[in-house]
Amino acid sequence: MKKEVVIIGGGIIGLCCAYYLQQDGHQVTIVDKSDISRGASFVNAGYITPSHFIPLAAPGMITKGLKWMLNSSSPFYVKPRLDADFLKWSWLFKKSATAKHVEQSIPVIKDINLLGRELYAELKKSNDFDFHFERKGLLMCYQTEKAGEEEWNIGERAIQEGLNVQHLTKEEVKKFEPNVDFNIKGAVFYDSDAHMTPNDFMKQMIAFLKTKGVLFYTNEAITNLAVSNDKIVSVQTSKRTLKADEFVLSAGTWSSVLAKKLQINIPLQAGKGYSINVTEDTGISMPAILVEAKVAVTPMRGFTRFAGTMEIGGINHDMNPKRVKAVANTAEGFYNGLQIPKSAIDAATCGLRPCSPDGLPYIGKTENYKNLTIATGHAMMGWSLGPATGKLVSELISERKTSMRLDGFEVGRFSF
């Protein structure tokens, strides 16, 4: 049955929800507080990552976080603050960071990433798009034996999960990257992964959706949500009232703020990441993560992107020059001869990734309101999981069997 659907949030998740809902015959409207030209969906590393099946909430992360808390340029930085939401999130993170949680999460995260990769490949094959998409795999490059051992332990587990993984020497890495002089000991190679140019895809998807009749209301913040009994009746923006049969909340980090208006608890913290684009020829042709500093390197259409850090410090787009410089210094330390221009560092951008306490997204209907579907909390995997989430949301709203089970993604799992 055709329904009218309002999607709150026009990032990668919101756009993919709109795409599959429109494909299923629904009338879709997207409303966003920005002009949908910036943010995490545009400045991320562009990875599709079945390899990243370990949730952020894992044993050892608390210890690392405490150590890194003293270093504002560390890979994972938590800014301490007396804020009730942050303190609750931190407690839930600590509670989730167990070996049992990791084991339960691995197949779930892997499967939704594989679904995302499959759907991106389908979109690429269609005549509707011409975005950049390459499946070259991913190099996890390390400089120390300890980091290499830890990474290979994950690689061995990935092999148990059915992924194709190789442990490479520095000389073997050279076969993958003949035009790069690496300062590394070796790398773990994941054949499963792919990469894209995010802003390329975002612009094409927005243009396509408009041709299909999807309405966009941008630069309009949600000011109120009207409810009646167990349903949302309408949302009020700064300019208009929008009524619909179904509503999707996919507003990234802001989702938890809006959910509070409905007395729905979805703990989220903004994980800020920084991005540097280098238009000069770097010789880099393979996506790589520089393991010790968690810096991602992606050859994109027309430039190379260096992205990294996870900064839990509230909802803001304040730039921290130390953290930007740390990303540049790490890249130059792994690639001999690489020089990132000051102009590129000065032009660095940031985006906020919505992080749940257990490292799993929220995807599903709410108990409170029959016509509200939540889709947020994807953290660093938002880009990778965009199409998979969009398809699952459309299947829920269209009342069809979902492409995979939603165990682990329950919206109300932290109700209190």
pLDDT tens per residue, range 305-342:
999 988 888 899 999 999 999 999 999 999 999 999 99
pTM given for the model:
0.96
In the prediction, which pLDDT does 312 show? 85
What would the mean pLDDT of 398-411 be, rounded to a whole number? 96
Q: Is residue 173 part of a domain?
A: yes
pLDDT in tens, 146-181: 999 999 999 999 999 999 999 999 999 999 999 999
Domain count of the fold of the chain: 1
Residue 110 to residue 289: CA distance in whole angstroms: 18
What would the mean pLDDT of 405-414 be, rounded to a whole number? 95
CATH code at position 342? 3.50.50.60
Question: Looking at this protein, which amino acid is placed at residue 223?
Answer: T
3-state secondary structure of 210: helix
Taking a C-beta distance cutoff of 8 angstroms, is the pair 332, 325 a contact? no
The mean of the pLDDT values for the chain is 94
Taking a C-beta distance cutoff of 8 angstroms, is the pair 350, 271 a contact? no
Which is more confidently placed, 68 or 264? 264
In the prediction, which pLDDT does 341 show? 97
Tokens of 373: 């579907």
In the prediction, which pLDDT does 415 show? 76
In 114-207, beta strands by DSSP E: 133-134, 138-142, 165-169, 186-190, 194-196
Q: Is residue 382 part of a domain?
A: yes
pLDDT in tens, 106-133: 999 999 999 999 999 999 999 899 999 9
Query: Backbone phi, then psi, for 287, in 5-degree steps?
Result: -65, 140
State the pLDDT confidence band at 59, using cuts at 50, 70 and 90: confident
Taking a C-beta distance cutoff of 8 angstroms, is the pair 266, 377 a contact? yes
Q: Are strands 27-31 and 4-8 parallel, antiparallel or unpaired?
A: parallel
**DSSP collapsed to 3 states, 280-348:** CCCCCCCCEEEHHHCEEEEEECCEEEEEEEEEECCCCCCCCHHHHHHHHHHHHHHECCCCCCHHHHHCC
Task: HSE, CB side, 13 Å, CA atoms: give it for residue 379.
Answer: 24
In the prediction, which pLDDT does 11 show? 98
Residue 186 to residue 172: CA distance in whole angstroms: 8
DSSP 8-state assignment for residue 381: G
Q: Is residue 408 part of a domain?
A: no
Residue 10 has pLDDT above 90, yes or no: yes
Q: Give the C-alpha distances (Å, rounded to integers) separating 244 from 3, 69, 128, 233, 406.
A: 8, 45, 28, 7, 25
Tokens of 237: 């923006």
State the pLDDT confidence band at 82, using cuts at 50, 70 and 90: confident
State the pLDDT confidence band at 344, using cuts at 50, 70 and 90: very high
Tokens of 394: 């459309």
What would the mean pLDDT of 291-313 be, rounded to a whole number? 94
In the prediction, which pLDDT does 83 show? 87
Residue 248 has pLDDT above 90, yes or no: yes
Q: Is residue 38 part of a domain?
A: yes
Q: Is residue 343 part of a domain?
A: yes
Residues 6+ apart with CB under 8 A from 179: 283, 284, 285
Residue 266 to residue 12: CA distance in whole angstroms: 19
Q: Is residue 411 part of a domain?
A: no
pLDDT in tens, 179-208: 999 999 999 999 999 999 999 999 999 999
Which is more confidently placed, 140 or 309? 140
Q: Is residue 299 part of a domain?
A: yes
Taking a C-beta distance cutoff of 8 angstroms, is the pair 143, 184 a contact? yes
Among the residue ranges 93-97, 117-121, 284-288, 403-407, the one predicted with the least confidence is 93-97
Domain membership of residue 270 as a residue range? 4-397
Q: Is residue 407 part of a domain?
A: no
